[in-house]
Amino acid sequence: MAGKQGKDLALSILRVLPRVSLGNIRNNPGSNKPSKRGRGQHGGNKHGAGNKGSGQRQNYMRLGYETGNTPFYLRFSREPYYKGHHLRREYPPLSLQKLQMFIDTNRLDISKPIDLISLINTGLYNINVHWKHAGVHLTDEGVHYFKAKVNIEVQWASEPVIAAIERNGGVITTAYYDTNCLHAICNTEQFFSRGEPIPRRFLPPTDCLEYYSSAATRGYLADPEKISQERLVLAQKYGYELPKIEDDPDYEMLCERKDPRQLFYGLEPGWVISLRDKAILKPKAEYLKKFYMS
């Protein structure tokens, strides 16, 4: 009954109301725009166009035009400062203070060698290969607060950073990774799931070959005997007593190094990692072994 009475009431209201027409329809909110300012009203006669010339006609001069003078970009010669900037390798910085924070918060295990993969796995440091990132630049910010003994591998480091790590009994190495290897390092799970063999590392290009072959920068291609001499020279320069690695209980960990062709600790180039089967497939052909180890 209530529903029937409601229908009758609605019909009675419609009979009384006028018909819908253009005269009793209200416009949508915001559809009516206020009228613009008229011509010459309120004391002005320029209608928002400004003064004479290009300002009134909205015919502005092109960028760099100096009204007849020789433009700036023609008065001075070309500067090749930014030539090839899109091809230069970049090294995102990581300070010693932040590295110490990673160690204090148990994000890094100093009982094992630290490399680029260990830093990325912390979740607090990342590189983007598409932005020409080529690895870690370890900076000397917080050098006086760094107290850890580590075996670390980075891509770029200055002399104060090397001294700070070796003063605490640690070891540092600078190593180069090519673009193909960096793609595999940035997302190891995705790389292993594709079922591709681990690539071999290429040698550094000519513009940084000297850096990674120098014992002063602790390059991974340098002579170990020269590195021992440079460690002593750096200790005398900065005035600290160089700890003896041979007497250290962590001697094996501190001496652990990657092969110049190796990408991951414990895994050799050419191996295929099967995450589904949890197995490691190794090449058996001799020509494959020679190819990946050459």
Digit-coded pLDDT (tens) for 156-175: 999 999 999 999 999 999 99
Dmax (CA) for the chain in angstroms is 107
What pTM was estimated for this model as a whole?
0.71
Lowest-confidence region among 4-18, 37-51, 190-204, 254-268 = 37-51
Q: In the prediction, which pLDDT does 113 show? A: 93
Strand partners, 253: none
Enumerate the domain spans of the chain.
86-266
Asked if 285 and 262 touch (Cβ cutoff 8 Å), the reply is: no
Given the structure tokens 């949508």, which residue do they identify?
28
Q: In the prediction, which pLDDT does 25 show? A: 83
Q: In the prediction, which pLDDT does 92 show? A: 94
Instruction: Indicate whether 37 pLDDT > 80.
Output: no
Q: What is the mean pLDDT of the chain?
A: 88
Mean pLDDT over 212-227 rounds to: 93
Lowest-confidence region among 17-21, 121-125, 135-139, 257-261 = 17-21
List % helix, strand, coil for the chain (3-state, nearest 5): 35, 10, 55
β-bridge pairing 279-281 and 156-157: unpaired
Q: How far is C-alpha 165 from the geometric centre of its chain's CA atoms? A: 24
Instruction: Indicate whether 47 pLDDT > 80.
Output: no
60-117 pLDDT tens trace: 888 888 888 999 989 988 878 888 888 889 999 999 999 999 999 999 999 999 999 9
Distance CA 51, CA 72 (A): 27
Give the architecture (CATH level 2) of 86-266. Ribosomal Protein L15; Chain: K; domain 2 (3.100)
Instruction: Indicate whether 151 pLDDT > 90.
Output: yes
Q: In the prediction, which pLDDT does 176 show? A: 94
β-bridge pairing 272-274 and 279-281: antiparallel
Cα–Cα distances in Å, from 118 out to 10, 147, 151, 247?
A: 74, 19, 12, 27
Asked if 161 and 172 touch (Cβ cutoff 8 Å), the reply is: yes
